Structure 1
Amino acid sequence: HRLGRAGSYREARAVVAREGSALWRRAVDRVQGRGPARGDLSRDDDRPLYWARLGMTRELRTWEPGFGLGERQRAALLTELERTSRGQADLRLPPGGHDEGTGKGMKRVLLTGFDPFTLDRDIRISNPSGAVALALDGTVIDTPDGPARVETAVFPVRWRDFAEGAVERALRPYLPRVDLFTTVSQGRVGRFDVERTNGAWRGGFPDNENVSRTETVPVTDPTSQPQWTTTTLPYAAITAADTGRFPVYDNTTVTEIPAGGGTEPVVRPDGPTPGSTAREGGGGNYLSNEIAYRATLLRDRLGLHGTLPGGHVHTPVLQFGDRNTDPATGAVTDPGFVRNRLDIVAQTRAIVAVAVSAAGPDRG
C-alpha cells in the first residue's frame, strides 16, 4: 500500500495527510450520492467513515517502516490522520460578497458533528450529527435571505483531544470569516434542543477510549475562563419555525453550585444565577457541552460575541426500528433507522436555513 512506499517520515506524513483527506472526501461523496455506494448500507450512513478510520489508525499504530519511526513521530502521524479524515483540513469557505442579481451575499456556515460513541453498549451505533456533517459538507442551502454555503467537520468523542486544543485549533482560523456556526451532537429522545447555556464542567462519562474526566474544562488562560457561555444562535426563530417532525426546544436548564459556599448542585430551569459554578450546561457535561463551550468561548475571545451567531444544536437520539432494538441479535440497519436518520438530517438542514435567515445580513 501507499504507506509502505514512504521512504522517510516526511514522505509518510504527506501520504497520511493525502489518504486521510481522501477518506473524508469519499465519505462525503458517498453520502451525497456521488460515485459508487459500495456495501449494503444506505448512502446516508455515517458509520463507514468511522470504521474505515479505525482500520487506518490500527495500521498506523503497528507500522514499522525501514527508516525508523519515533513514538513522537508516530503520534504526529496519527494526529494528522485524525485531523484530515474528519474534514478539519478541508474547510473551504467561499469568499464573501454579493450576488449581482439579488444583492444578497453567499452566507458562510460552519457546522461540526461527532463520531459514534457508546459502542461497548451497542456496536451498531451511529451518530446523526456525523451523518449531518457528511450530508451538508460543501452544500449550498437556499434560505429566504439568500444562499448559504455549509462547510463541516467531525470531532472524536475523546476527552484527550479536547484538552489538547483540537476544537480551538480547527475552528480559530474560520470563526472570523463565517456568518454563523453551530456545533451539533446527538441529544435527547424525540426532540431537538437549542442549548442556551454551556458550562465549564466535565462530568466524567467515559469516552471512546473508556477514559473518564471530572474537572473544570481545561482551556488556555484559565484565569479568564468563565463558568458559562451563551448561545448567539437565533433560538426564538428556530424554535418557532416548522422545520420537521421533531419538536425543537429552547433549552434554558442548567445545573450549578450557587454562589455563597454551598457544595450541592442545584438544577436551574431558567439558567445560571450570578456567581455560580457550572456542573451542567443545557447540553449536559459531556463532550457535546464541551464543544459548545469551547466554540462559544473562542467566539467571545475573538471579540465576536456581538456579531457572530453561534451555539449548539442537539438532535434527537437516532433510534433503531421497534423490532430491532437488541444489540446482541439486531440487524446493523433497518428501514425505520434509515428513515429516522434522514429525517434528522433534513430537519437539521432546515434549522440551519432558519438560523441563517434570522441572523441577518452577511459579514462579507
Structure 2
Amino acid sequence: MHHDTTPEEARVDLPEPRRLLARSGFGAAEPLFTADLKDAEDLAQAREVVAAHGSRLWTEATRTGLDELDDRPLYWARLALAARLRTWRPSFALDPAGRADLMRVLEVESRGITDLDFPPGERWVRVVVTGFDPFRLDEDPSCSNPSGAAALDLNGWTFPVGRRTAVVRAAIFPVRWADFDDGLVEQALAEQHERAEAVLTLSRGRSGRFDLEVWNGAHRGGGADNLGVRRSGTIPVPGGGPQWTRTSLPTEQMARAAAGPVPVRVNTHVVEGDPQVERHDGPTPGSVAVRGSGGDYLSNEIAYRNTLLRDRSERGLPSGHVHLPKEQGAEILEQTRALVAAAAESALPE
C-alpha cells in the first residue's frame, strides 16, 4: 500500500521550494538520505540513518553565516526527507508504529530538540530559545519565519553575563496542532525547566514591532496550521491548566536593552469572557481566556505550555514569549540578541 505524503510535504515539489533547495545546497540531502535508507536492513539501522541525516540538517543549518541566514532550506529539506520516509518501502516489515517512530526521530533531530544539552558546571547561564517553521505557505510558498532564522542565529551563541558565560541552545517547532497535542513542547522543554536558567519562545508577529507578550491564554482559536488542520477549544495539557499564565521575563529591562530601529512593546492586551471583552491591562481574576496577549494560535500556545512548565517546576525561571517583527535583517537579529541577553542577565542570582 502506498503511503501518501501530507499537504505540507507535497508543497516541496512547488517550483519555489525546489529552487531554494537547489540554490542553498540543501537539495543534496534527499538523494543521500534515499541511498542510505535503501541500505537499511532493519528498524534499528533505519533509525540510525534517520537520526544521522536529521541531525546533519540541523548542524548544517546552524552553521551558515549571518550573511546567508535563512530558515527555509532547513524547513524544505526536512519535508523532502519526511516525504521520502513516509513513502519508503523497506526490504523488511515496517508497521505503522515503526514508521511513526522514524518520522518522530527525523523531526526531533532536525529541529535541534535532541541538541538542547548544555555544558555542565556553575560558570554557565543556560538559555533556551525556540522559533517556528514558516507558515501560511499557500499564500506565499517562498516565505520565511524570522523566529526560525533567529533560532538558527542564536544557537551556540555565548556571551559574558557578570562573571559567568551565557550559552544559548535553540530549537524550531512545527506549525502543526497535532505535534502540540502529542506533547512535543513538554518533551522538549520540561527538562529545561529543571536545568536551564531562562527559556524564551519566539514567533513571527506584526509588521514593524517587537511584542513582549505578558499574558498567555488557555484557548485555541481555530486557525489553520501547515496541514490545513484547525483546532479550537481549551489547550489540552496533561492535568489541565489555569485560564491564564504570565511571562516571567524582565520585560521592561528587555525593552530598554533592545531599543533600536524597530520599537519594542510590552503587550498586556487580552480578550476575556463570554461575552467577549477586550482589556488593555491584562485579564481580570477568574476570567475565561479567549485571546492571550500573543493571540490564540500556536505562538500563544507554546508560550502557555512553556510558562505552565515553569510554574510546575517551581524554579520560576525567566520564561515567556517574544513576537518578532515580520521583517528580517541584521538590525532585527541584533535587537533579538539584545532581548535574549537581557533575559539571561535577569537569570543571575542577586
**Which TM class, normalised by the smaller chain length?**
0.7 to 0.9
2:323 aligned residue: 314
1:117 aligned residue: 135
Structure 2 Cα separation of the partners of residues 155 and 316 of structure 1: 18
Contact map agreement 2:247 2:319 (CA 8 A) in 1: yes
Contact map agreement 2:318 2:346 (CA 8 A) in 1: no
Contact map agreement 1:243 1:351 (CA 8 A) in 2: no
Structure 2 Cα separation of the partners of residues 303 and 218 of structure 1: 21
Contact map agreement 2:254 2:338 (CA 8 A) in 1: no
Contact map agreement 1:128 1:344 (CA 8 A) in 2: no
Aligned-pair CA distance for 1:13 = 1.1
- DSSP-derived class of the 1:138 partner: coil
Structure 2 Cα separation of the partners of residues 265 and 21 of structure 1: 45
Normalised by the length of structure 2, the TM-score is 0.87
Aligned-pair CA distance for 1:240 = 2.1
Structure 1 Cα separation of the partners of residues 63 and 257 of structure 2: 30
Q: 2:343 aligns with which of 355, 358, 362?
A: 355
2:292 aligned residue: 281
Aligned-pair CA distance for 1:361 = 2.3
Aligned-pair CA distance for 1:143 = 4.1
2:315 aligned residue: 304
Q: 1:203 aligns with which of 181, 199, 221?
A: 221
Q: Output the amino acid matched with 1:166.
A: L
Q: 2:331 aligns with which of 340, 343, 356?
A: 343
Aligned-pair CA distance for 1:242 = 4.2
Q: 2:255 aligns with which of 234, 239, 250?
A: 239
- Unaligned stretches of 5+ residues in structure 1: 33-41, 98-104, 258-262, 319-339
Structure 2 Cα separation of the partners of residues 173 and 357 of structure 1: 21
Structure 2 Cα separation of the partners of residues 56 and 149 of structure 1: 30
Q: Relative to structure 1, is the Cα distance of residues 174 and 242 closer, same or farther in structure 2, using a 3 angstrom cutoff? A: closer
Aligned-pair CA distance for 1:179 = 1.0
How many residue pairs end up in the alignment?
Answer: 316
- Unaligned stretches of 5+ residues in structure 2: 1-34
Q: Output the amino acid matched with 1:311.
A: G
Q: 2:180 aligns with which of 135, 148, 162?
A: 162
1:4 aligned residue: 38
Please provide the CA RMSD for this pair. Answer: 1.4
Structure 1 Cα separation of the partners of residues 309 and 117 of structure 2: 20
Aligned-pair CA distance for 1:147 = 2.5
- DSSP-derived class of the 2:81 partner: helix
Normalised by the length of structure 1, the TM-score is 0.84
Contact map agreement 1:231 1:296 (CA 8 A) in 2: yes
Aligned-pair CA distance for 1:31 = 4.0
Contact map agreement 1:143 1:354 (CA 8 A) in 2: no
